[in-house]
Amino acid sequence: MGLLAQYVINGAMLGMMYALVAVGFSLFFGVLDVIQFAHGDVLMVGAFAGLAAHALLAHLGVTSPALLLLGVLAAAALSMAILGALIARAVVLPLKSVPPINVLLMTLMLGTALREAIRLFYPGGSQPQRFPSLLPGTATAVGALTLRLDNAILFATGALLIVGTHLFITGTRLGLAIRAVAQDEETARCMGIDFTKVVLATFALGSALAAVAGVMNGLYYNEVGFGMGLLLGVIGFSAAVVGGLGNLYGAILGGFLFAALQTIGAAALPFASAYKDVFAFGVVIVLMAFRPTGLIGEKASERV
């Protein structure tokens, strides 16, 4: 029983990270109808920005874990918000009128460039880097199950961020503008919404969320590497698509669903746990065959 609970906790952590990444994909798709495939690598760069911030703060003599953690999160989120807006400005917006596959390839190549840049230019970047553990490692035993405080904090942070994003999108003027652009770009422009500003803000928001997910990933596994973004990006993309692109709740649902599939594949099925990704992606393909526009699908009818 304890083992199963451990699997569930682990799955929930993964699901939170996937959901944070998937929300970004969904936001970008909402405003621009594009897939920003460098998103996973933005996450990775965010984790490394956090690592660099930690080194800097430690060098300056900061020792309080809370301050360090705050500094790491702020540095990662802020720098990735700027990077995300830059990507939107320099790479995605200029390709607005070309076929979507060009944008897809463009951002994939951008992801490769980011990955290679970290590998080549971050000191020791070609090896996995140890990520400092900044959270208290206290564990409480609840029956046969050990609950670790750091995991609880990570999970709560992720949940707060997602709720915050939801409140931001539904409750603020900028959020309203984002939803308006997602619904109909031209009408939104006619209503006096600054399209470019909204796009940049959306990319900044989504990328900051990815950066937090990256730091979470680093704290959870105590390690970051230049290649960590590729699979996380693909999984985030799968989660967003399975949930239904452009839909925030779909992305969250997709993220947790994917983590659940991996957990089931690892724990509950008769074959070796190494097949968990094979199982999860296999189910994704089958789901796409039955719900071609995702679980919470776009209501799309084609105008001729």
Q: What is the rounded distance in angstroms from the CA atom of residue 116 to the CA atom of residue 113? A: 5
Residues 185-224 that bind other proteins (CB under 8 A): none
CA nearest 14: which of 232, 277, 298? Answer: 232
98 binds other proteins (CB under 8 A): yes
Instruction: With contacts defined by CB under 8 A, name the span among 54-62, 147-155, 184-192, 237-245 that binds other proteins.
Output: 237-245
270 binds other proteins (CB under 8 A): no
Q: Given the structure tokens 């709720």, which residue do they identify?
A: 163
Residues 9-48 that bind other proteins (CB under 8 A): 29, 35
Interface with other proteins (CB under 8 A), residue from 68, 91, 174, 176: 91
Structure token digits, residue 191: 């209503």
Q: What is the rounded distance in angstroms from the CA atom of residue 229 to the CA atom of residue 240? A: 16
Whichever of 60 and 304 has its CB closer to other proteins, that residue is: 304
Instruction: With contacts defined by CB under 8 A, name the span among 97-105, 174-182, 190-198, 216-224 that binds other proteins.
Output: 97-105
Interface with other proteins (CB under 8 A), residue from 105, 139, 144, 167: 105
Minimum Å gap between C-beta 179 and other proteins is 20
230 binds other proteins (CB under 8 A): yes
302 binds other proteins (CB under 8 A): yes
Minimum Å gap between C-beta 30 and other proteins is 13
CB-neighbour burial class of residue 220 (10 A; exposed 0-12, middle 13-18, buried 19+): buried
Whichever of 71 and 206 has its CB closer to other proteins, that residue is: 206
260 binds other proteins (CB under 8 A): no
Minimum Å gap between C-beta 85 and other proteins is 18
Interface with other proteins (CB under 8 A), residue from 101, 143, 173, 186: 101
Residue 151 contacts residue 9 (beta carbons within 8 Å): yes
Whichever of 104 and 176 has its CB closer to other proteins, that residue is: 104
User: Under 8 Å CB-to-CB from 65, ≥6 apart: which residues?
Assistant: 134, 135, 136
Residue 230 contacts residue 41 (beta carbons within 8 Å): yes
234 binds other proteins (CB under 8 A): yes
Q: Which residues bind other proteins (CB under 8 A)?
A: 29, 35, 91, 94-95, 98, 100-102, 104-106, 108-110, 112-113, 116-117, 120, 230-231, 234, 237-238, 241-242, 245, 272, 274-275, 277-278, 281-282, 284-286, 288-289, 292-294, 302, 304
